[in-house]
Structure 1
Amino acid sequence: MFKYFKLNILPYLLYYLVKIIYATNKKVYHHPKDDGKPIIICMWHGDLISQIYNYFAFRKNGTVKAMISHNKDGEIITNLASMFKIGAVRGSSSKGAAKVLISAIKELKSGNDLAITPDGPRGPRYSVADGVIALAQKSESKIVCFNTIPSKYWQFNSWDKFVLPKPFGRIDFYISEPFDIKNMEFEQAREFIKEKMLIHSMP
């Protein structure tokens, strides 16, 4: 019964909660000019919910797939994402990583955008795993960093310090200029992505 609730009822409750929260907040967007090319969206795990609104303000009719892990939380996130018309590429960094990478590259090559949390699903917070670097270099796609800063928020005591905006505040939505890392070594690319992502990150 509890499993059914988590997978089938909880996503609906979260969906309506998120809708109410964002409907009551003033939204301010800081977006670059959109060239329409497929992009790899990098967002921190603790800031992922807000990026739904960030993306669809940037690309109203865009198609985005999110890389979501094969775990219990991943099932909930997949069900919630589908309600916002976001697809999923399911996989694990430890099992079947090559298969997931190929699927993600196919999505980008077909013109879809790909969203990834480089510090997820286990952290540490604000770290950049190898997956996003390999994906960007093998697909030759550019990366954009998505961040949000709410004026009022709850911050959970989880490894990712998950942030949920409070109603009746202001949320600033940030998207970086697209950048590529195709000629960088892995460690150089890792530091470069992290530096870009930290510009508008929460404490």
Structure 2
Amino acid sequence: MRKKLFRATVLMVVPFFASLLIRLLYVTNKKVFHAPKSVGSEPIIFACWHGELLMLPYLYFQYRKTPNAKVLISSHFDGLLISKTIEYFGLETIAGSTNRNAAKVLIQGIRALKDGYDIGITPDGPKGPRHEVADGIVIMAKKTKAKIALFNVKPTKFWQLNSWDKFIIPKPFGTLHYYSTSEIDVSEMDIEEAKLLIKEGLLKHEA
């Protein structure tokens, strides 16, 4: 009972303050967008590495002034914290991962794309291996013919956690470099070829 009460309190308090922190970090950093002006109006899959997830909403908002996206987030407790946090930015979530409850998550993602939602996904989440692309993103793209845009967020000043994904938290008063590719069509590729293309694209701006 005590554990449940603690978790319920954390879920009420932490996401609110986390959303404020994200906004504070955004406004106290310079922003440079290295990105195409448009990725089209059709539903699209936005992908970034799990460790760069924190500041992702602001790159998405460059393309969608009115948020209309569902983000695949782990159903574990840390995933619930992320889900509650990104709700403050108008983003919905699909609980699960392409490693756990894979079929259910893929079906929900495919249905959301067909219903007109964009999908946000971390191809190496929720537990890694870091910078390795799972099959799920490619399967969703091939089943729906949805295009993929690859996102990176590279702050000039940051803290890096000692977690499996080396999670990055920008420091104030630096510069946030946002990168996005144009639309990528993997519908005619085999899965391994598409995964390699996605991985190489997401690693393009690694130091």
- For Structure 1 versus Structure 2, the TM-score category normalised by the shorter chain is over 0.9
CA contact (8 A) 2:45 2:120 kept: yes
2:189 is the alignment partner of 1:193: no
Equivalent-residue separation in structure 1 for 2:27 and 2:15 (angstroms): 18
The residue type paired with residue 134 of structure 2 is A
Measure how far apart 1:100 and its partner are.
Answer: 1.8
2:98 is the alignment partner of 1:76: no
SS at match of 1:200: coil
Equivalent-residue separation in structure 1 for 2:138 and 2:110 (angstroms): 12
CA contact (8 A) 1:68 1:90 kept: yes
Equivalent-residue separation in structure 2 for 1:40 and 1:82 (angstroms): 18
2:15 is the alignment partner of 1:15: no
Q: Deviations over 1:114-151 (max 9, x none)?
A: 00001001101101001111111111111100101111
Which one of 115, 118, 121 corresponds to residue 120 of structure 2?
115
Name the CA shift for 1:94/1:26 in 2 (closer, same or farther; >3 Å): closer
CA contact (8 A) 2:51 2:168 kept: yes
Between Structure 1 and Structure 2, how many residues are aligned? 202
Which ranges of structure 2 fall in alignment gaps of 5 or more residues? Answer: none
- Which 10-residue stretch deviates more, 3-12 or 176-185? 3-12
What fraction of aligned residue pairs are identical, expressed as a percent?
44
Measure how far apart 1:92 and its partner are.
Answer: 3.4
2:182 is the alignment partner of 1:177: yes
Give the structure 1 partner of residue 8 of structure 2.
Answer: 4
Equivalent-residue separation in structure 1 for 2:166 and 2:107 (angstroms): 31
The 5-angstrom pairing of residues 1-203 of structure 1 reads: 1-34=5-38, 35-201=40-206, 203=207
TM-score, reference length from structure 1: 0.94
Equivalent-residue separation in structure 1 for 2:56 and 2:62 (angstroms): 10
CA contact (8 A) 1:42 1:116 kept: yes
Equivalent-residue separation in structure 2 for 1:95 and 1:148 (angstroms): 26
CA contact (8 A) 1:150 1:165 kept: yes
SS at match of 1:137: helix
Measure how far apart 1:95 and its partner are.
Answer: 4.5
Name the CA shift for 1:29/1:104 in 2 (closer, same or farther; >3 Å): same
Equivalent-residue separation in structure 2 for 1:187 and 1:95 (angstroms): 20
Measure how far apart 1:200 and its partner are.
Answer: 2.1
Measure how far apart 1:94 and its partner are.
Answer: 4.4
